[in-house]
Every structure is written in structure tokens, then in C-alpha cells.
Amino acid sequence: MNRNIYICLSVIFIVNALCLTLSADFLPEANWKQYGLEYGQSICGFTNSTPKIDGKLDDWKYAIWVAFDSKNELFRGANAWKGKDDLSVTWSTMYDDKTFYFAAAVRDDKFAPSNDPAQPWLGDTIFLYIDWENQRVEVSSKPAFAKIKGKASVFDFSTGGKNPRLSESSISIEPNAKLGAEGMIYEVAMPLEFLTKVKITKGSIIGFTPGYEEGTDNPEGKGGTVFMDWGAVNPDDAINLGKLIFGEALSVDTTGKLATTWGNIK
Ligand SMILES: [Ca+2]
Ligand SMILES: [Ca+2]
């Protein structure tokens, strides 16, 4: 009898362990190449369900992900960057009728944010450089995300402060042990009305790149400061930005559909 109870408990334990493993948080890998995209192009997929802004990426399983994980993305710090485990950023975007969503899984050995909310760029900060008009003349929106004194915030660094309500956006920046000693997940929901008057719909194309600023104060004491973006360019010049196309609804079988969409619009 005791032996049966032991076997029974063992089975329950193993099944539980399997369930926990299967329900572990989703972590992304770059998948943009599957969609027939060139380097510097990605797709912002439409989401039918509102992602929960909680620093967990289970609601981003079907999104299109891009990785900044090589010297091709080092605008600054080619001699200071020590490789993927030092800093690499896998990022994605989604949208719905009202909101522009951004997420990033940041692999990092040391997270060293600024202490000064007026100068988040002194430490770890993510910027977005957005040219809504896609005229390649002006970076029209420049949100930034940082966790300062334990509080995750959205900042507006657009020229002339064009997006003053951005600070009301929802944001979560949470550690994730699977992303290195001090890796972080960023998850942000920015109402489109806080960002632009341009009507964003399926087929819209914008100039875009995230930029990862490791901190102009060089808090990790490296041989130089590190800044990563799409193509190692100066992202403050709109002409240098990558392209983000607003696409179809994301789903399990997104791959074929989105590749067709991109092909049609090119
Ligand atoms: Ca989430
Ligand atoms: Ca690092």
C-alpha cells in the first residue's frame, strides 16, 4: 500500500514539474528572416487580444522579433562590447486600433540604470526613434523607457516635446533570470493618440529603430560607452531608420500570410 502511495505521489510530482516547465514564460528568438524581410525591415503585427503589461511575454508568441546581438548593431562601443551575454536586445512591436505596443528581452550581465529621472540616458535606457510620416526628414517621436529608483517610466524626448502625454503610457520593466544575471523584459503600451496624428492602419509604413543606450555615464566602467540600433547608424537622422510595416493579425499560422502581405506592399 505504502509503495502505491509513493508511486502515486511521484507521478503527481512529475506531472506537476512538466506542467510548470510547459507553462514557463515565453522568451523570444529572432524570427524576422522567416517572413521574407531584408535586414532593416520588420512587421508590426495586429493583435486581437490586448497584451497584459506585466513584463511577461506570453502574449507575444506570434509576434515578429529582431535581435541586436552583433557588431552590425553597434553605433557606439565596438571596442567595449563583450558579446551577446554582455548585452543583446531581442525586440518586437504589435498594434491594435488604439495602441502601439513594444517589447524587448534584454540579455545583460549588469543592469545599471540612471538615478536621475531627468537624465535616464546616463544608465540603461531604451529609446524608440520613429518617423511616422516616413518622409525620411524628421524623427517625429522619440519615446524612452527606463527603470529609475525601481520605477519603470516612459519619457518623451521628441524635439520640442511633441508627445507630452507619453508618460501616462503603461510600462513594465522586470528582471528575468533566463536572460543572464541582470537581464530584463520591457513591455510597453503607448496609445497611438499620444504619439501621432498620422492614421496608422494595415499597410502603413514608418521609419523605425529601437536604440539601446547602456549609459553615457558608462556605469559598467568599460573601455567606452555602448549604443545598439538597427544597422549601427545615427538614429537621430530619420534617413538612417529601418522600416516597420503595419501588417495582418498575428496568429499561429502567421508566417505565410505576413510574407504575402509584405510582398504585395513592396
Ligand atoms: Ca505581458
Ligand atoms: Ca552588460
pLDDT in tens, 133-166: 999 999 999 999 999 999 999 999 999 999 999 9
167 alpha carbon – ligand 2 mean position (Å): 26
Q: Which residues pair with 180 in a beta bridge?
A: none
Is residue 12 very low, low, confident or very high in pLDDT (cuts 50, 70, 90)? low
Distance CA 220, CA 85 (A): 14
Ligand in closest contact with the CA of 111: 2
Q: What percent of the chain has pLDDT over 70?
A: 87
The environment of the single-atom ion ligand 1, i.e. residues with CB closer than 5 A, is 51-52, 54, 56, 59
Q: What is the per-residue pLDDT for 238?
A: 98
73 alpha carbon – ligand 1 mean position (Å): 26
Cell digits of residue 186: 520591457
Is residue 260 very low, low, confident or very high in pLDDT (cuts 50, 70, 90)? very low
Cell digits of residue 36: 521574407
Q: What is the per-residue pLDDT for 188?
A: 98
| Range 33-265 has CATH code 2.60.40.1190 | yes
Q: Does residue 174 or residue 220 have the better pLDDT?
A: 174
At CA 155, angle to CA 220 and CA 236, rounded to 5? 75
Distance CA 33, CA 102 (A): 19
pLDDT digits (tens, 9 = 90+) for 71-130: 999 999 999 999 999 999 999 999 999 999 999 999 999 999 999 999 999 999 999 999
* Distance set, CA 100 to CA 182, 193, 195, 250 (Å): 27, 10, 9, 14
* Confidence check: pLDDT of 204 > 90: yes
Cell digits of residue 96: 491594435
Ligand in closest contact with the CA of 123: 2
Q: What is the per-residue pLDDT for 266?
A: 44
140 alpha carbon – ligand 1 mean position (Å): 27
To the nearest 10°, report the CA torsion of 99, 105, 109, 112.
Answer: 0
Q: What is the DSSP string of 16-83?
A: HHHHHHHTSPP-----GGGGTPPTTEEEEEE-SSPPP-SS--GGGTTS-EEEE-SGGGEEE-TTT---
Distance CA 34, CA 174 (A): 29
Average the pLDDT over 212-222 and give the result: 94
Distance CA 263, CA 236 (A): 29
Distance CA 114, CA 123 (A): 4
Q: Which of 263, 265, 264, 254 lies closest to 31, judged by CA?
A: 254
Q: Which residues pair with 206 in a beta bridge?
A: 244
Is residue 3 very low, low, confident or very high in pLDDT (cuts 50, 70, 90)? confident
* Confidence check: pLDDT of 60 > 60: yes
Q: Which of 202, 78, 216 lies closest to 144, judged by CA?
A: 216
Is residue 264 very low, low, confident or very high in pLDDT (cuts 50, 70, 90)? very low
Contact 117, 86 (CB under 8 A): no
Which of 70-74, 218-222, 232-236 is predicted with the least confidence, judged by mean pLDDT? 218-222
Distance CA 194, CA 21 (A): 39
